[in-house]
Amino acid sequence: MTTVNYQALIREVPDFPKPGILFYDITTLLKHPAAVRSLSDDLTARYQDRGVQKVVGIESRGFIFGGILAARLGAGFVPVRKPGKLPADCYEVKYSLEYGNNSLAVHRDAIEIGEHVLIVDDLLATGGTAEATVNLVRQLGGTIVGLDFLVELKSLNGREKLGGYDVHSTITYP
């Protein structure tokens, strides 16, 4: 594993997307090729022996490292998106997040029964988005081998909604 200080490369934006929310902007990390390469190497090493067959990336920032990991692990990539963004038959689930409600959708044929699935997103906050994605993967019959987040906000206890699963966060904030 690397010694890059990823946290130092993340910009904190107060009152976004609404007052009282502190947004962790990973675009400032993404503009550093060495950091992206290092993080990709770290995550690949972490999951290369887990038999991952599909990587599920949660819209939209989960697509970034989800796509990289899928390519490096020799796995397929499955986008989980907001409703109306996928063209074929979908399963949809509604959920709550730290500042409102939303829905997520996945193609019904995206994951085969028993396929080993890694779920990837940029942020674990209250856990609503991740829990909804877990429900979608389970509805398709996938076997979840782990959930990976670049950033975790521990004070919001999102990990508690993901009990029983291997959850990894590269950066944690209290």
Catalytic residue among 61, 115, 152, 159: 61
Q: Is 112 a catalytic residue?
A: no
Q: Is 81 a catalytic residue?
A: no
With beta carbons less than 8 A apart as the criterion, state whether 73 and 44 touch. yes
Catalytic residue among 46, 98, 108, 160: 98
* Phi, psi for 21 (deg, rounded to 5): -100, 130
Instruction: Give, for 33, the enclosing helix (H) or strand (E).
Output: helix 33-47
Closest alpha carbon to 25 in 14, 36, 40: 14
Amino acid residing at 98 = E
Tokens found for residue 1: 């594993």
Residue 67 β-bridge partners: none
How far apart CA 26 and CA 159 sit, in angstroms, is 20
Measured from the Cβ of residue 103, the count of other Cβ atoms closer than 10 Å reads 13
Catalytic residue list: 61, 98
